[in-house]
Structure 1
Amino acid sequence: MAKQTYSISDLAQELDVTTRTIRFYEEQGMLTPQRRGQERIYSPKDRVALKLILRGKRLGLSLAECKTLIELYDPQTGNQKQLNIMLGMIAERRAQLEQQLLDIQQMQLELDTAEERCRTALAESASKTTAAE
């Protein structure tokens, strides 16, 4: 049985990305297709790597973090190390998001306070103008 391979357009269509995006990840050393003349031939491992990159991006991981995960991918020996490292990355990203959420909530409180002060100052200014007339 022939090994499954994919063209760049196959992967682009399946994963809803542009061929330019795929070539970018190739330039970054994250995908390593074989060449047949000018044609790129992607393996199942390249397909999994691309899926990992796209998932990592959705989770807010950097390209370096995605590259680390890809380098750890080894379907022959199992992927426990990869999964454990990914769990660590997820925990770190979650902590970053929780801090950002706290920062946003604090900023909202400061905006509420500033808005209230502005409204109070405007109301006082309007009542002084009315009283002077």
Structure 2
Amino acid sequence: MNDHNQEQTYTIGELSRDYDITPRSIRFYEEQGLLCPKRTGQNRIYFNKDRVRLKLILRGKRLGFSLAEVKNLFKLYDINPNSAVQLETMLELTQHKRAILKQQLEDIQMLMSELDEVEARCREELAEIKRGNIA
């Protein structure tokens, strides 16, 4: 039974507090077509579906997915909630993000190594200066 009168509803302020984001961010996600709250006058009424979507949007952002990628996943889900296509798309996105993060990690490790070398050289030269061996 899908009676919206008895379903839990939320205001933009409640969602904002619950997820520690600004109401402006929530309105932006709505403008991007990621959330579609019911409206009564100027007020937005969010249902559990909107709450779940907001949680997924924020998780997607944390994982490095673009809003367009999140929107595409929502679209696939809306077309067919049990879609293998949606899962395959998610797997592809996950593999792509993992490859990017792996490359970034390698880059960071290389930079850390270079910083270690520069720091060691600076410390050696500073020690020499303090010993008075270098003018």
With the length of structure 2 as denominator, give the TM-score of the two structures: 0.77
Assess, with a 3 A threshold, how the Cα gap between structure 1 residues 36 and 123 changes in structure 2: closer, same or farther.
closer
Residue 108 (1) aligns with residue 112 (2): yes
Partner of 1:7: 11
Partner of 1:30: 34
Structure-to-structure mapping, 1:78-97, within 5 angstroms: 78-97=82-101
- AA paired with 1:32? C
Unaligned runs of 5+ in 1: none
Larger Rg over CA atoms: 1
Deviation of 1:103 after TM superposition, in Å, equals 0.7
- Of 85-94 and 36-45, more deviation after overlay is shown by 36-45
Residue 127 (1) aligns with residue 106 (2): no
Unaligned runs of 5+ in 2: none
- AA paired with 1:26? E
1: CA distance between counterparts of 2:74 and 2:81? 14
Assess, with a 3 A threshold, how the Cα gap between structure 1 residues 76 and 116 changes in structure 2: closer, same or farther.
closer
Report the count of equivalent residues: 129
1: CA distance between counterparts of 2:78 and 2:38? 19
Deviation of 1:124 after TM superposition, in Å, equals 4.2
Q: Report if the CA contact (8 A) 1:52-1:70 is conserved.
A: no
With the length of structure 1 as denominator, give the TM-score of the two structures: 0.78
Assess, with a 3 A threshold, how the Cα gap between structure 1 residues 72 and 45 changes in structure 2: closer, same or farther.
farther
Deviation of 1:75 after TM superposition, in Å, equals 8.0
- AA paired with 1:101? L
